[in-house]
Amino acid sequence: MRLAIDVMGGDQGPHAIIAGSAKAVVEHPGLEVILFGPRQQILAEISRLPQPLAAAASRLSARDASASIMPATTAAWALRRGHATSMAQMLRSVAEGEALAGVSAGNTAALVALSRRELGMIEGISRPAISTAIPARQGRRCYLLDLGANVDSPAHRLVDFALMGAAMAQCIDGTALPRVALLNVGAEATKGNASVREADRLLRQYASGQYASNSAFDYQGYAEGGDLFKGQLDVVVCDGFVGNAVLKASEGLTSMLVERVQMAFESRLSGRLASLLARPVLRRLKQELDPVRYNGASLLGLRGIVVKSHGSTHADGFYYAIQRALQEVEHNLPARIAGRWQAPSSDGDGARQP
């Protein structure tokens, strides 16, 4: 299995991305990785990998790409002038079948735009959605989408997101009938803007089997922000502006809570003793809630697999983004999503019949 990696997008530089890639290669004996970026810099970083990561060197190859997408680069600039960048070359490697998936920590807007151009969309889906898993109660997780690919989404696109999210929950988690909800400011039928209310109407039709003999999901209606973490939903749908804000707020809150709990234990002598006794529990809590473990957001709706890593992530976080890509390759996620669309909707743009 071969993956393509853009090494130039992260805030931590190529070192963190290459180290995370090496960790994945060490853990997966059949994995090879093509690293796109300045060749000499990549080779220098590979030569500095410590043991046991150095054992991955023979399965890490460097592909020269001297140009890169910058954080301030616009999607329009990337489409006009970004053909030779490490991000674009990484995506072409996936589009041409050389690699089975691509991973980048780079500029989100540029990645979405270039992915649409280089890989194309599944027939019937007009725009990709970005999705990631949110930790919930009882060790469950909930997929939230969109996270920023579509700042303002009409109703038919929200329905697309629901179908794609349901396919992901079925494919990755084995959930037979995913519980899907629309994120809203309240549970009452009158709440929300026109797009959300219309999407609610359409999703109720899908769930009732109006468009198919068997519904692809169990529609739960509206959800409020706190419902994400209760473990009672598998997919929550919203536009990208709301989703991005919810994701970053939840990550910040999680980090603060874990830090405050640890500080509370260590603030006094008795607390320090309790901290020693509670250390295994605290370690498990931190592992379960650590945003690093959930790094890696999927660009759904493309003809190929692309995973977006946090730009600020370190090596461990990038490793988890690669893990997400490997899961999607294993389950052939694009084909599963494509199976949800059989005939075009009446307006020719948006949800197809599942």
Helix, strand, coil share (%) of the chain residues, nearest 5? 50, 15, 35
Scanning the structure block, which residue is given the tokens 């997919």?
A: 235
Contacting residues for 255 by C-beta, under 8 A, at least 6 apart: 291
**Of 273-277, 333-337, 350-354, highest mean pLDDT:** 333-337
Minimum mean pLDDT range among 93-107, 149-163, 247-261: 247-261
pTM of the full structure: 0.89
Q: Where are the beta strands (DSSP E) in the chain?
A: 2-6, 32-37, 60-64, 101-104, 129-135, 141-145, 179-183, 218-223, 235-237, 297-300, 305-308
Domain definitions of the chain by residue range: 128-292+348-354
pLDDT in tens, 60-86: 999 999 999 999 999 999 999 999 999
Q: How far apart are CA 25 and CA 32, in angstroms?
A: 7
CATH T-level topology, domain 128-292+348-354: Isopropylmalate Dehydrogenase (3.40.718)
Average pLDDT over residues 296-318: 95
pLDDT in tens, 22-70: 999 999 999 999 999 999 999 999 999 999 999 999 999 999 999 999 9
User: Could you tell me if 306 and 104 are in contact, meaning their C-beta atoms sit under 8 angstroms apart?
Assistant: yes
pLDDT in tens, 121-155: 999 998 999 999 988 888 889 999 999 998 889 99
**Could you check whether the bond before residue 146 is cis, i.e. omega within 30 degrees of 0?**
yes
User: Could you tell me if 43 and 345 are in contact, meaning their C-beta atoms sit under 8 angstroms apart?
Assistant: no
